[in-house]
Amino acid sequence: MNLAPEIACPPPVACHIEGWRSLVLDEVGSTNSHASSLPPWTAVRANVQTGGRGRIRERHWVSDEGGLWLSAVLPCPGSRRKWELLPLAAGWAVLGALRDFGVADLRLRWPNDLMLGRRKLAGLLVERYQPATAVIGIGVNVFNQPELANPALAGLTARLEDIVPGGYTVDDVARLILRALRRMHAILLQGEFHQIADQLNLDWAKPRRVEITLSGRAHTFAGLFQGVDPHGRLRLLTEREGPCVYDATQVVLLRELD
Ligand code: BTN
């Protein structure tokens, strides 16, 4: 067997911010994978990810230098069902943090993409590796240039630096997001998702025509996306069946048509 020689790695930088133990790595495969075995209230940020993962079919997520690639481990006590709305609530929390930072006209695309018009500023990947925790993976284009790494992304991404001009660091953005995640967690812990749902429904912006794919169904179908109900179920106005609601776990894919 050909074993590579051991390379001495400098220890990650660790500090405490906003009630989180926060680690900063220079380079990692995926911060979510790295965070998978870490205790709650730990956050991992990397300057570069070599195997960043996206939400849809685990697509590669371009994670070049200058972006915020962050994974936060949240405690999830009690039943799994109680935390099913975490992906929606986390999107709402990150949107609020970026809006407070000065990003106007930010909207959500179901379930938790952060969009400026049709360009994506940030995406979330929420994963449960252990029964009592969840890893909230957050990717925000800050100073990086994803289209240089992948020209197919030209015109599809937005960067924070182009909206809120300099004078801050990636860590400043991370701090705001970690603070917002703590607040969101307290609301979910109390079983108060409905508080979030009202605000969330303003964040989708105008009702849009979408095409959705449901698990176990061969055909996609179109309808008017109408946000979520107080239980976090997706509300869709369909031509054939009128108003319908779908549990987030049923929806494999949602594509905006306008
Ligand atoms: C998506 O919109 O498809 C989700 C993108 C999530 C990317 C972030 S970057 C930090 C964390 N680590 C990963 O491998 N993915 C998430």
For residue 9, pLDDT beyond 70: no
Residue 117 scores a pLDDT above 50: yes
Determine if ligand 1 sits within 6 Å of the CB of residue 93: no
Instruction: pLDDT band for 11, please (50, 70, 90 cuts).
Output: low
How many other CB atoms are found less than 10 A from the CB of residue 187?
16
- Cβ(226)–Cβ(207) below 8 Å: yes
pLDDT of residue 1: 35
Q: Taking the CB of residue 110, how many other CB atoms lie within 10 A of it?
A: 22
Q: Mean of the pLDDT values across residues 83-110?
A: 97
Res 239: pLDDT:
86
Please tell me if the CB atom of residue 137 comes closer than 6 angstroms to any atom of ligand 1.
yes
What is the mean pLDDT of the segment spanning 9-38? Answer: 89
Looking at residue 78, its amino acid is G
| Gyration radius (Cα) of the chain, Å | 19
52 lines ligand 1 (CB under 6 A): yes
Greatest alpha-carbon span in the chain: 63
Our answer on whether the CB atom of 40 is closer than 6 Å to any ligand 1 atom is: no
Domain spans in the chain, listed from the N-terminal domain onward: 13-201, 205-256
Residue 219: which pLDDT band, with cuts at 50, 70 and 90?
confident
Please indicate whether residue 61, judged by its CB atom, sits closer than 6 Å to ligand 1. yes
Residue 67 Cβ inside 6 Å of ligand 1? The answer reads no
Of the residues 22, 27, 53, which should be mutated to test ligand 1's pocket, given the most ligand atoms within 8 Å of the CB?
A: 53
Asked if pLDDT for residue 3 goes beyond 60, the answer is no
Q: 42-49 and 20-28: which strand pairing?
A: parallel
Task: Write the CB contacts of 172 (distance below 8 Å, at least 6 apart in sequence).
Answer: none
With contact defined as beta carbons under 8 Å apart, do 3 and 24 qualify? no
Q: Above 50 in pLDDT, residue 7? A: no
Rounded average pLDDT over 13-41: 95
Q: Note the pLDDT tens digit of each residue in 225-237.
A: 999 999 999 999 9
Sequence-distant contacts of 49-54: CB under 8 A, at least 24 apart = 52/139, 53/125, 53/137, 54/123, 54/125
Side-chain half-sphere exposure of 134, counting CA atoms within 13 A: 24
In which band, very low, low, confident or very high, does the pLDDT at 10 lie, cut at 50, 70 and 90? low
- The answer to which of 7-21, 117-131, 146-160, 243-257 has the lowest mean pLDDT is 7-21
Q: Which CATH number does 13-201 carry?
A: 3.30.930.10
Whether the CB of 112 sits within 6 Å of ligand 1: no
What is the residue with the minimal CA distance to atom 9 of ligand 1? 139
Among the CATH numbers 3.30.390.50, 2.20.25.90, 3.20.20.370, 2.30.30.100, which is that of 205-256? 2.30.30.100
Question: For the chain, what percent of residues have pLDDT higher than 90?
Answer: 86
Q: Tell me: pLDDT of 245 over 90.
A: yes
Cα–Cα dist 132/45, whole Å: 21
**Cα–Cα distance measured from residue 42 to residue 217, given in angstroms and rounded to the nearest whole number:** 39
> 170 pLDDT exceeds 80?
yes
Q: What is the pTM of this model?
A: 0.93
* Helices and strands: H and E segment counts in the chain: 6, 13
Decide if pLDDT at 6 tops 70. Answer: no
